[in-house]
A and B are shown apart, each in its own frame.
Chain A
Amino acid sequence: MAQAAITFEHVSKQFNQCGYAAVDDVSFTVEQGEFVTILGSSGCGKTTLLKMVNRLYQPDAGKILLFGKDVAKTDAVQLRRSIGYVIQQIGLFPHMTIEENIATVPQLLHWEKATISKRVTELLDLVGLPAQEFRNRYPAQLSGGQQQRVGLARALAAQPKIMLMDEPFGAIDAITRMGLQDELLALQKELNKTILFVTHDINEAFRLGNRVMIMNQGRICQFDTQKNILENPADAFTKALIDSAKAQQRFWEDFT
C-alpha cells in the first residue's frame, strides 16, 4: 500500500466571530499520488480545510500529518515552500513580471539563475502561454484566465509533492478549462503528485478526482470514488447534489 500523504485526525477549526465550526471534527486519509477533489457549496469550509494543511490556519483541535509527520511540529516556512498552493483569489504579485511571479519559490530556495529561467520557460509552455510573449509582462496585462494559469505555474515551480488548489480554474472558459483539466490530469499521473483540489463544480470534481470529498457545513458528507457516491449517496445533501447534476444533464438531452 502506498504511504499516506495527508492524514487529518479529528481536525476542527472555529473562527472567533462565528457561532459554528468552519471545519468540524474532520478525519480522512489521502494516499500518495491521489487526486482528491473537494466539492461543496459556498462557505462549507473547503478553503479553511486547505489552509490548515500549509498552516495558514491553526486547527483548534486534532492533528494533520503529511507523510507521517505532524505539520504542527515542522518549520512553517519550509513546509509552505514544499507545498504548491493555488489561492482562490489568484494572488499574483502585481509589481512582479510573470517570470518573477513564477520564480518566487525557486528564488526563496536559492536555485541558480539559469535553472530558474529554464524552469520558467518550461512551466509557461506547460500551462499554454508562449514564454517569449508572456514572461516579461505584468499580471495586469493578462486576462483573468491567463492569470490563473500563471498562478498554477507558480504553484508547480519548485516541484512540490503536494498541491493545494483552491478553485484554480474558476475564471477560465469551458474549452480552455477542459484543456487545462486534461493537462493537470496528465501532469499528476506523470509526476505522481498528491493533489487536494477544491471546486464548486460537480462535473469538474467528478472528472478530475480519483476520489471525491463532499463537504457540507464543515463536515465531510462522503469521501469515496465517483462510482460509489453515485450508487450509494451517503446523505440527503449528497443526493441533492447528484440530482442537480443529473437534472442539468437532462436539460442538455432535451435539446437533442
Chain B
Amino acid sequence: MADLWMQIHAYFSQNTTEYLAYLWQHVSISLLSLAVSCLIGIPLGYLCTRNRLLNRCITGIFQVLRIIPSLAILILLIPVMGTGVAPSITALVLLSVPPILMNTTVGFAGVPAFMNETACALGMTESQQFWRVQVPLALPKILTGMKIAMVEIIASATLAAKIGAGGLGSLILTGIGLFRTDLLLIGGVSVSLLAILSGLMFQLLSRWLFPYQPAKNK
C-alpha cells in the first residue's frame, strides 16, 4: 500500500506535464463534444415540439443509438473515419445528443399553454414570446440535459483513448498494459473527480441562473 502511494507520488513529480496534457486533452475533447451536441440537440429538440412526425422519427433514432454501447460506436467509426480526435468527438456527440434533445423537448413542451397565451395577450410578437417567455421557461430543463450529457461525455471520453484521441483514458490503457495499478488509479480517480466536478458546476450555474426556482428543482 505504501508502495502504491510512493509510485503515485513519483508519477506526479516526474510526469506533471504529461498528466496535465492528458487532463487538458480530456477536458477539451469533452467541452468540444458538448458544444457540438448542444448545437445539434437544442434546435432539434425545439423542432420536435413543433412537429409531431419529426418528433417520432428523431426520438426513434436516438433511442436506438442509446442502446448501442459507446465502445461499439467508437469501434464502428474506425473504418469510416479512421482514428484520432474526430471520430472520438463524433462518437461522444452521438452519445450525448439524446439527453440534450429530450430535455429540450420536455422543457419547451412543459411551458403551460396559458403562459404562451398570456404573453400573446400582453402584445408580444411571436419572436418576443419565444425569447422572453418560452426560452427562459425551458432553460432549466435544457441545462439539466447538458449536465447529464457532460457527465456522460467525460466518462465515455475515457474510451476515446482507445482510438488515439488521448486524454486520461491513455493513462488507464497504459496502466492495463503494464499492470501498473498506480496509473490505473490516477486515471480512474481523475476521470471520476472531473465528472463530479462538472456536475457540481452545472448545479451552481443553474442555482445562479434561476434564482426563482423552488428549492426542490435545484
Contacts and interface: CB of A to CB of B under 8 A. Distances in A.
B123 A81 contact: yes
Contacts of A79: 123
7 contacts: A51-B121, A85-B121, A87-B121, A94-B137, A95-B137, A108-B124, A139-B212
A54 B121 contact: yes
Given A80-B123, A87-B118, A91-B117, 6 more contacts: A51-B121, A77-B125, A87-B114, A93-B118, A139-B212, A140-B214
A94 B212 contact: yes
A78 interface: yes
Contacts of B133: 93
Interface residues of A, number: 23
Given A91-B115, A93-B115, A108-B128, A140 B122 contact: no
Contacts of A140: 212-214
Contacts of A91: 114-115, 117-118
Contacts of A80: 120-123
Contact of A105 (B123, B210, B212, B213): B123
Interface in A76-102: 77-82, 85, 87, 89, 91, 93-95
A87 B210 CA distance: 25
B175 interface: no
B84 interface: no
A56 B121 contact: yes
B212 A104 contact: no
Interface string B133-163: 1001100000000000000000000000000
A138 interface: yes
A138 B117 contact: no
B211 interface: yes
B209 to A, nearest CB: 10
B120 A138 contact: no
Using C-beta atoms within 8 Å of the partner chain, give the interface range for chain B. 20 to 34
Contacts of B136: 95
Contacts of B115: 91, 93
A-B pairs with lowest CB-CB distance, top 4: A81-B123, A91-B118, A138-B212, A80-B123
Contacts of B211: 138
A56 B118 CA distance: 10
Interface in B166-218: 210-214
B125 A56 contact: no
Interface string A55-84: 010000000000000000000011111100
Contacts of B120: 56, 80
Contacts of A87: 114, 117-118, 121
Interface string B102-135: 0000000000101101111111110010000100
Interface in A108-123: 108
Contacts of B119: 93
Interface in B68-124: 112, 114-115, 117-124
Contact of B123 (A77, A94, A138): A77
A89 B121 contact: no
Given A93-B133, A138-B212, A140-B214, A108 B117 contact: no
B123 A95 contact: no
Nearest to B209: A95
**Most A CB within 10 A of own CB, among B120, B137, B212:** B212
A77 B123 CA distance: 5
Interface in A27-59: 51, 54, 56
A95 B117 contact: no
A127 to B, nearest CB: 17
Contacts of A78: 123
A152 to B, nearest CB: 13
A91 B128 CA distance: 16
Contact of A89 (B114, B122, B123): B114
